[in-house]
Chain A
Amino acid sequence: MSVQGRDVGPVSMTCEVLDRRRLGRYWGLTLSAPEIARRAAPGQFVNIAVSAPGTLLRRPFSIAGAALGGHVAGTIDVVLDPHGPGTDMLAGVPPGASLEVLGPLGRAFPLPQRRVSALLVGGGYGAAPMYYLGERLRAEGHRVNFLVGAADSSRIIDPIVPKRMATWSSFTTEDGSMGHRGRVTDLLAEDLETTAAEVVYACGPNAMLAAVGDICEAAGVPCQVAVEEHMACGVGVCMTCILPIHTRKGVQNRRVCVDGPVFTSTRIAWEESRYTETAHEPVDDDLDDRDASDHDGRGPDDSRADEGHFTAGVRTVRTGGRR
């Protein structure tokens, strides 16, 4: 098996597909990738080469799990939503076939330093990296709660997994085919209280992440999100994947592939991105009322202060750093 790269950071390797299984509308792939599994942390992604006619660029996918021991030691999982030439091709690769995989890429979710109750919010295939994170958080002794949403039940990945793993879990579908009828953002404010969440982690469509971030900010709960942007290289050299980020020098464009995909949600200047249009979806009126009446004496700046508090309390896992 050929592996290219250095002792730390991402590597490029040829990976055998060990298993392919249907997950409702999605497909799950298990790849033999020992070097990537060893270096990976939740929130990071891999770039997979596709061989559909006319395609050129790799496709980015969140790492949905990495096994270091047991029967499937040295493997990683990805979950695919087939909807285009690259994802269709990957969803069709049979076990035994090989794929060129580059990873792990990007920054991982920072993990809390002290024991916390964490609420993990996943939308669609964005739930996949949340399951991986949930496992890691639980292994470190944190309380793990799940809020998983999708358009319909066929897009809720393996609901038994979060149910088994979490202290508390809840589901939403837009068509009502599973759990609450509606969106994760309908329930989030209430669920933050129910779970006494001290930190929120989220992955899903960017519009969902913008709304989740707003709700968390209003509730004063720090929130880390893993975003998506179109990527040509995935390794920081092409500048195609940028997102406007609040920095000390004002709003600056940062690369999602190396500076993200995980960002502290309050740092993202969604209003300057193309996601504004959907980001400012009607927010639950009850929620606005609650914000107004339920300040607990917090000043408007305290939610930002929480970010500092959170940042101080976490260790940031950088790309490929061996831990």
Chain B
Amino acid sequence: MSTTTRPTGRTTGVDLSVDLGGLVLPNPIMTASGCFASGREIDALWNVSELGAVVAKSVTLEPREGLPTPRMSETPSGMLNAIGLQNPGVDAWLERDVPWLASRGARVVASIAGNSVDDYREVARRVAASRSVAAVEVNLSCPNVSHRGLVFACDPGRSAEVVRAVRQALPDRPLFAKLTPDVTDIARIGRSVVEAGATGISAINTTLGMAIDAETGRPKVANGFAGLSGPAIRPMAVRAVHQLFTELGPEVPIIGMGGVRTVTDVVEMVRAGASAVAIGTATFADPFTAANLVRDLGPWLGRRGHTALADLRGRIEPWPHHPR
């Protein structure tokens, strides 16, 4: 059809490729877990192999039906969600979605979740069997049943324990630990998961929020507490990514995410210290967002004389010193 505009990924000579600890991608644009399903729906709109990689919805050992509705509520420049990890289970995902993604030529990153260290280990073991999974992201924002339901990612020790177990089950693939910003010192959590064997970090997951209808008194999301995402959290994400980059140094790859919508948001995240950038909520507002970023990032950089995106990683320029 003549009216179709397809993302080309052409970079006008600018090198957009990234190396995430062995996971080499043609460009830094990825999807944020839970915001792209496993790519099929969006592939009906544009070719998902244009992406750097597809990070799929988190999968658990058993299928989950998730939480009751309403599951989302819009907030100023953001949204709250409590889905409850509705997913078909790791086996069904490996059987149905991974081969499809591979057949489309997409680079596949699994996102795994669980409620105990054993859960994570077992899901990782099953994922390890699939050669089509290029890397794994460990969603640590799950309640730990043997620790009063406290989220793994809030505790450096428990986070490290999960990462060690996953690393053992999956020794041969890049492993990213996905962190929550709802901690006092995210850099410390980052340090402990890297020491436990994580190749790199994904940050940030949603931050916990709540909204209540003033008239009815009911929480706007049925679960009560819900994860806040979108442009509203972008400054938090930039801050967290920069803290992690400063703590862990340029050797540790970081997948930055949180409210990214435009090319300048991507560049901001890279300057903060991200090696690659994942697009979440922005896809809901416009399902072509990630495709447009793949298309537009190279030309934007090229127009400013940059030759490689990687050169900008962690590059924050100081304000000129004002003599008194």
- CB within 8 Å of B: which residues of A? 1-7, 9-12, 35, 49, 54-58, 100, 102, 229-230, 232-243, 252-253, 258, 273-274
Contact = CB atoms under 8 A, between A and B. Distances in A.
The 5 closest A-B pairs by CB, nearest first: A236-B41, A54-B76, A3-B3, A233-B284, A240-B72
Contacts of A12: 45, 286-288
A2 to B, nearest CB: 7
Given A12-B45, A232-B281, A240-B81, 15 more contacts: A6-B45, A9-B44, A11-B3, A55-B74, A56-B284, A230-B69, A230-B73, A232-B72, A232-B81, A235-B45, A238-B72, A239-B57, A240-B83, A253-B86, A274-B69
22 contacts: A3-B3, A4-B4, A4-B45, A7-B1, A7-B4, A9-B45, A49-B286, A56-B77, A56-B79, A57-B284, A58-B284, A58-B285, A229-B69, A229-B70, A230-B69, A230-B73, A239-B86, A240-B72, A240-B83, A241-B71, A253-B65, A273-B69
B86 A242 contact: yes
Contacts of B72: 230, 232, 238, 240
A258 B68 CA distance: 18
B35 interface: yes
Interface of B: 1, 3-5, 34-37, 41-42, 44-46, 57, 65-66, 68-74, 76-79, 81, 83, 86, 222, 230-231, 281, 283-288, 291
B205 to A, nearest CB: 15
B9 to A, nearest CB: 15
Contacts of A238: 34-35, 72, 81, 83, 284
B4 A5 contact: yes
Nearest to B261: A56
A3 B4 contact: yes
A4 B5 contact: yes
Contacts of B66: 239, 242, 253
A229 B71 CA distance: 10
A56 B230 contact: yes
